[in-house]
Structure 1
Amino acid sequence: MKKSIKAKMLMIFILIFTILATNSIWAIINFNRLNNSIDNIMESNYRTIVAAQNMIVALERQDSAELTQMFTVDGSAEKIFLENEKEFIKWLARAEDNITEIGEADILIIINEMYTQYIKQFNELIRIQTNDGPGAARDYYYNEILPVFESTKEECRNLLNLNQNAMLDRRDRAKAIGKNASYSTILLSIITILIGLILAIYISNKMIKPIYNLIEKIKGITEGDYSQQLDIDSSDEIGELAREFNTMTRKLESYEVLNIKKLMKEKQKAEAIVESISDGIIVTDENNKILLVNRAAEKGLGIREKEVLNRHFLETIKREEIFQMIDEVKNSEDIKSYKKYINITVTTDEKTRHYRINVRPIMDKDGDNVGVVTLMQDITKLKEIDDMKSDFVSTVSHEFRTPLTSISMAAGLLLDKTSGEINENQAELLEAIIEDNERLKNLVSDLLDLSKFESGKVTMDIELQDINEMIEYAVKQFRQRAKDRNISLEIDVKENMPKVNADFNKISWVLTNLVGNALRYTPRDGSGKIVIKAKETANKILVSVADNGKGIAEEYQERIFSKFIQVKDDNGDEKGGTGLGLAISKEIINAHGGEIWVDSKLGDGSIFYFSLYVGT
């Protein structure tokens, strides 16, 4: 008959439970016997012992009262004698109600008789003292009363000793019961342990050993040896498992060659795709060791893949800014808390190239970060074109300042009627000229400021600054405007934030620009909300300006920090401004050694971030 593992285990457990139950019942019986013996000791003799002790105490107090009576006549000694007489009789009655030992009743009869005589003698003592004087009373006490007192006291001691000896006998019997119970329980426990060991060895040989054998075979498979076979001949589940395992290994062995070919083909295909990408690619693991480098990255950084593989990033690539970005991405739980790209300049073989570094985490199916992919986009041509454009704009801006000033002055003189009277239409045209001229002058001023930042000609007055003060300074000019537009403007910054290294006016200008942009794109129906926050992260302060406006499309999120880029509204129109504010803000933050970026989603608003170093 085929027996399953379940049936075998059930039979073994039933046997073990039966033995344990027998052991437990035997222990309970012995403990009950021991408990009953202890109860007998405590209940049967303890009351009589207490009664005997209290009778002795009462008797001794009465004797003291008699001695006092012979030397005083105030009646206090007689009162004490009578009080202790009541006490003696009370405890004598309790002893008579608790007779448990042989001979105890006879002792109590003697005590009762002698005590009755003792009471009578006390009364006689009082009479003699009254009639014959203290001398006769003392003679009567020592000759008649004292022997009766000693005899009565001795009988009380006999009662006490009788019950104490009985308690000692019962204690010895309880010890014997406990000793026998211990020996019998130990014997049963040893038998139980031996049976358990025998069953454990049986289970190990019959069930566990084949499982260990299976584990060893599986380890061989994980090492690539698919020829593993189990030699188990049984009809239970273990045997069924062994047969299925052997079938699986035979199939795995037949698929091995085919799978290796497919994997090699896929690997070669993936490597070919990576190598064909014109942008540089570096893949690092969770320990920042390099796993892959394509040709473009080799060329851009002047390295060789075989020399850097499985080595720490900074050990072979001396680019702290790239590693810092990789480390932030790897250790950050929130992708919004780090910048999505940086621009770097690399000089190799006397050639200078410009790259935009994008870093993205590699997540497994459980959402755990297992590595980082770093993409190096070559933006050298774009940088050169941008520099040319910046030079051109700077030159043109300088050339525009003088004629714009002249136009402004001339239009102002004409409008003031300095050169003669003008009609209403002419005045409107002159006002339009002055307004457009002012806009152009602001544009030229912004362009010149931007040109100075890009060329590094702007001097920064960097000192230790309070981030709370800069935020308050920048926000206060917008409070009335926000109130007029029915927009909530909040500051959420903790007190006693660390101070930062910053130019107060420049950072205030950045905050003013970000808050002004938020006001421009936030709804005015009462639901609009702008929140400025600051928090400490590592050795930096991260400042954010969040709104619940329409948001920024993804294709604009990197471009808006370039010159003349503005996000259009729902009608396709640009909401004022010169398109230079964010470009200037970027240059200011970069000049402070920080970073600025945006996180936004259409319909969910936008959050602009920038970072500043904590002051030292």
Structure 2
Amino acid sequence: MKIRTKLTLGVGLLFILITLLTFVGARYINALKNDTENILEANYITLEYARDMLMALDEVTADSTAMNILEENLEKQQANITEIGEREATRQLLGHFKMLQANRAEESVHLLIRKDIAEIMRLNMEAIQRKSNVAKQTAASATIWVATTGTLCFLIAFTLLINLPGNIANPIRALTDSIKRIAANDYSQRVYFEDHSEFGELALSFNTMAEKLEEYNNSNLSKLLFEKKRIETLINNMHDPVIGLDENKKILFANDEALKVTGLKPEQLIGQQAQDVSLMNDLLRSLVKDLVLTESTDTQSKKQPIKIFADNKESYFEKEIIDIAIVPTGEKEKRQIGHVIVLKNITPFKELDFAKTNFIATISHELKTPISSIKMSLQLLENQQTGAINEEQKQLIDSIKEDSRRLLKITGELLNLSQVETGNIQLNIQRSTPYEILHYATEAVKTQATQKKIDIQTDVPENLPAVKADTEKTAWVLINFLTNAINYSPEQSRITIRINQTDKHVNFSVSDQGKGIEKRYKDKIFDKYFQVPGSNKSGTGLGLAISKEFIEAQNGSIGVESEIGMGSTFYFNLAVVEG
């Protein structure tokens, strides 16, 4: 516990107890005062009234004013009834007083009135005795509470007196001795305080200082210079461009490859602020953009390769920013000391990727013609005019037809993928109605849904606004959602298509009653060639990836919501046509 906290708690508790002592004393003194005033104001005054009534009763036959005095004191007594039974006695006294008014000389009435007054006096005398006992009890409680609180104050003050000086003086004495040894060049000296007080923090700072002094004292400058030269040579011989910056974005080093791709001389780059150099060099501006614009949210640009003319051809580089952080000697927290920008040359991989894309596009295009011919031949075989076929032949034709349909779907997806990868997506953005897209998609999957006895329901309000979209490619995406939903849904289940408007977008969603997607696969579901492990459905794994590219190319967004056992909902949204 910190020294300040100890002092605060000790002195604070002492202050609270002193305040409590003052409060208790004042409270009980006030209670005694109230008990005394209660006796004086309630019971003693009643005794005064009773005494005056007795004196007036003795003079009632001889003095005409005595009756008025008796009546006046009786009225005062009626207004000062405080004890149990006093009201009945006063009421009885009033009745006898009326009899006295009728006949002042009647001795029996005098005796009755004296008896009533004596009863009132008895009740108040007993009350005085009872309240006196209460006041004594209050005084005894006050004595106990004041003594207890005072004892606690004494114990706390005594504890502070015994412990506090040692807690403060002993660590200071130990620290002073260690400082003297450090001054005598004994840098191995350390201070150890096990508590977490201010002295513990002071000891930690002192030990850090001593450790750094020892490190500096034992350092070898020539060895450091040799290691620096070794690292510089290593970086300079790397085949990838490398640029190093400090925490203030000042360029510390750049190898020959970095100077070559930027076209700058060493004096134009090294030792300069990255912001200043980026104003004159487009390549460096793109390299340090993510460092200078710390609030940039353009995460997509970080993933895109950078195209640079190098080695007498267009080359592709992948930027990687490595943050350099160290734990300074004697400290526990990491500290950022700079950044290293590495450009990895991925030109060979990019060339292979282009070759793969062109190969896929060529093969897919060449396959579409024979597959289409096969489908036409199958249609001719199914035509009764070409001749009757038996059941086994019909099954073979159906199998060939299904395989042809799958092959045609795969080649179509591969062609779409080649468009996506080459950036040649041909979009025909125009005014399109959601109802047209919905009709196109539902008609395309009607037969497939009927074969599995799946009910396709629509939840579409009237008067939806038109959207800016490529009708054919948007319908392709919706068909892909529906086809997947049909494939992964059990027979005789339900698929729901919902279309609604939110703000300036129209949302399309397809919900199924399949087994759902595990949470760990949801972020990968739109990746190329990805298929959920354990799925028994065949496919290329391209449909959702192409759907994502089609929707994002139209400035829309796409996503999925799914839980195991609760089915899946795939959705996308498109902008509303304004005006």
TM class, shorter-chain normalised? 0.3 to 0.5
